[in-house]
Structure 1
Amino acid sequence: MTDVPADRLILDAVELDDADFSGRDLKYAGVVNGSTLTRCDFSRSKFTSGSLGAGYETSTFVECVFDRCTMKDLSPGRATFVNCSFRDVKIRNFFCHTAQFVDCTFTGRIRKAIFSARPTATTRNLGRDRNEYRGNDFSGARLEDTSFRGGIDLDLQRLPEGSEYLIVRNAGDVLERAVEYVAAWSEEDLRQDALIKLGVLGSNVEGGQRDLFVNREFLGAAADRLTALLSAP
């Protein structure tokens, strides 16, 4: 570990077991170049920028604890998280295009996040063409403006339930039928807005996602009508 100010954390190509980083107020955090962290404690820390998987080699977190953390504008980067705990967190702007999560638990609030099984086309030397997502428990989290993309199997995750969420099974066929119905709506503004929403969902299907997890809030003014269409067998 490099000698850096207290509000910065740089872990470059390290292997650490049982390290304590809890309660830190970090203006920048960088876990870099294939670092491996096992049972490390980041609980109650605040992250405001940086990456947990910077560099070209994948960094790995095993049984690490991020409970009660606040993460804003923190990139997961090229990181693999295995059996990690994210309980009672506040996460915002968390875009996981090259990260993997296996057997992790999330509670708290996650806002503006993307979890994707398909790595972005711009990545190099990742060593895989799929990101692994299985055994993760989101059931105790509040997911806002959060999507699962790129072919994540929703049946291999535990997702939150409630009236604010909707799972669209076999979404390609369902969306095709929904577009036909919505195109016949007489209210122009409502119709156009609904078609835009359906187009966004359709782009996720085109990106490889069979089943969709949807925040009903995303559906806008026509949420009730669209929910009925998207829930139809």
Structure 2
Amino acid sequence: MSAVRTEDRGSVRILTLDRPERRNALNLEDRLELLEALRAADREARAIVLTGAGAVFCAGGDITSMSQDRSVAAHRLQVVGSIVEQLHGGERPIVAAVEGGAYGLGLALAVGSDLLVAGRSATFSTSFAQVGLAPDTGLAYSLPFRVGRGRTRELLLTARMVSADEAERIGMVDMLADDGAVLEAAVSSAQRLAELSAPMVAGVRRILHMSDQSLQGVLAAEAETQVDLLAGPEFAEGRDAFLERRKPNFNRV
């Protein structure tokens, strides 16, 4: 049985982690499947929703499959590294829909998305420290973008449980929805993103995730991206729509 279930709703692809019997904890094979599903969605859809089947979005890595063999561990981390690179470096925006909770690797997947929608009773934890591990799956990179370095340090070291209300207050979560309605709220957000100019979305994502975040680096990236966009058909459509007082249709160009 597949670990990742796919569904298309128009130009939005929903990727559902489908191991509810183990709270969607991911072993190596599951991670490889998720990586391929993300890559395919980036090619074939205009926006992506990542969610989990059952009561929990993702409980993290499957501890029962973890090995103390260094070569095996290194391979597992190489795979999750590729997943994170796809999350941040892909062309398409990603919305995470979190019901129940996101812990460890699951939290990293959620906060590594562009937007994070969570249920009002959802909970979050970095959780790695609880089993004597440091963070992986890019959590030490993604989480500071949302909550700042000081808060990230506290959450990584304590691995305490964070409620949905606190998660929204500190910026970990972008939007709360009623329990049971999170997926629909996330799909609605993804559909709005899918209507935007695809090159613009990709350009913004590249600027935000590039390694050089100095003022000079950002200014150079903004200038390069903006020159390309100004010369493209999406800006022409956006300009015409503005002058004609209508909604732009970026999907037609």
- TM-score bracket, normalised by the shorter chain, equals 0.3 to 0.5
Bigger RCO (CA 8 Å, 6+ sep): 2
More strand by share: 1
More helix by share: 2
TM-score for the superposition, normalised by structure 1:
0.34
TM-score for the superposition, normalised by structure 2:
0.32
